């Protein structure tokens, strides 16, 4: 009976989350397509012509995995952060906390919504890339799928934690602006860290997004600046840490219960 209740709750939250971002698709699905198109035009077509190749591949082809991963990161994070904070702001999240479901079910529902939006955006950006690249090869489908699922899960968890601590809608934009954006641009989306001096290569390896982008690029093109085993280990490790943190916060009612 308990498992049945948990399943119904998980399914309900997930459907609600998917319905929410699909209902406002002009705000959630169209902007990533437009933004990534501009990146392809500016960095790929204009800058890429001067660069030529990167990592033994045409520059336009090199940045495709990075741009897809950038869209996955920003959309999975934004989806859960905005949705969970809205539920907290309207005080209906308290109804979930007093319901006979565990915090893990609530987390699973919200993260599932973020994952669904991220995967849909990833497909849209991939289709956009066909306008600029003749073909998008897949080197290792398993690594590709595992990386995008784990990454979107990771940043969905991060968005939930951000929403737990946020006290206003302005607080939701702090982490994306001052943390995610710099780390993403320095995470190897547009360049290989092999071009950096040794000192900066060492510093760049502290950036977790570097491992996500390179693991995803390996799945597409078969090239990577870091070990794939290490990359997947870093992503899984951060997922575990953020899940435990999110579970503990919801269990204690931090930032929710007055």
Per-residue model confidence as pLDDT tens digits over 161-193: 999 998 888 888 888 888 888 888 888 888 888
pLDDT digits (tens, 9 = 90+) for 55-104: 778 888 888 999 999 999 999 999 999 999 988 888 787 777 777 788 89
Tell whether the model's pLDDT for residue 1 goes beyond 60.
Answer: no
Phi, psi for residue 57 in degrees, rounded to 5 = -125, 155
Q: pLDDT value at position 98? A: 76
Asked if residue 203 has pLDDT above 90, the reply is no
pLDDT of amino acid 177: 84
Rounded average pLDDT over 119-123: 95
Q: Which residue has the higher pLDDT, 130 or 99?
A: 130
Q: What is the DSSP string of 31-88?
A: HHHHHHHHHIIIIIIIIHHHH-EETTEEHHHHHHHHHHHHHHHHHHHHHHHHHHHHHH
Tokens read off for 1: 């009976």
Q: Give CA–CA dist 51/80, Å, rounded.
A: 37
State the pLDDT at residue 7: 86
CB 13 within 8 A of CB 52: no
Predicted local distance difference test score (pLDDT) of residue 257: 63
More confident residue, 29 or 50: 29
**Distance from C-alpha of 238 to C-alpha of 247, rounded to nearest angstrom:** 14
User: pLDDT > 70: what percent of the chain?
Assistant: 98
Does 256 score more than 80 pLDDT?
no
Contact 33, 125 (CB under 8 A): yes
Structural domain boundaries in the chain? 2-252
- 258 pLDDT band, cuts 50/70/90, is low
Structure tokens at 16: 């609600």
Poorest-pLDDT segment among 130-139, 148-157, 177-186 = 130-139
Instruction: Single out the residue of 153, 19, 178 nearest to residue 83, CA to CA.
Output: 19
Task: Look at residue 87 in the predicted model and tell me its pLDDT.
Answer: 86
Burial label for 156, CB within 10 Å (0-12, 13-18, 19+), is: buried
- Mean pLDDT of all residues in the chain? 88
């Amino acid at each position: 009976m308990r498992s049945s209740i948990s399943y119904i709750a998980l399914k309900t939250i997930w459907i609600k989350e998917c319905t929410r971002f699909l209902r406002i698709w002009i705000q959630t699905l169209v902007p990533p397509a437009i933004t990534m198109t501009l990146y392809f035009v500016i960095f790929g077509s204009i800058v890429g012509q001067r660069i030529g190749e990167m990592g033994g591949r045409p520059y336009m082809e090199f940045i495709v995995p990075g741009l897809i991963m950038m869209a996955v990161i920003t959309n999975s994070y934004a989806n859960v952060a905005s949705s969970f904070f809205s539920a907290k702001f309207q005080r209906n999240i308290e109804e979930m906390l007093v319901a006979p479901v565990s915090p893990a079910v609530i987390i699973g529902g919200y993260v599932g919504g973020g994952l669904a939006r991220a995967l849909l955006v990833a497909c849209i950006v991939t289709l956009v890339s066909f306008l600029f690249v003749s073909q998008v090869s897949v080197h290792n489908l398993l690594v590709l799928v595992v990386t995008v699922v784990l990454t979107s899960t990771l940043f969905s968890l991060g968005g939930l934690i951000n929403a737990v601590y946020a006290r206003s809608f302005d607080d939701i934009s702090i982490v994306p602006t001052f943390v995610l954006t710099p780390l993403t641009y320095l995470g190897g989306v547009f360049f290989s860290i092999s071009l950096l001096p040794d000192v900066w290569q060492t510093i760049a390896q502290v950036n977790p997004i570097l491992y996500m982008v390179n693991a995803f690029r390996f799945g597409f093109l078969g090239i990577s600046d870091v070990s794939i085993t290490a990359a997947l280990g870093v992503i899984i490790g951060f997922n575990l840490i953020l899940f435990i943190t999110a579970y503990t916060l919801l269990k204690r009612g931090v930032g929710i219960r007055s």
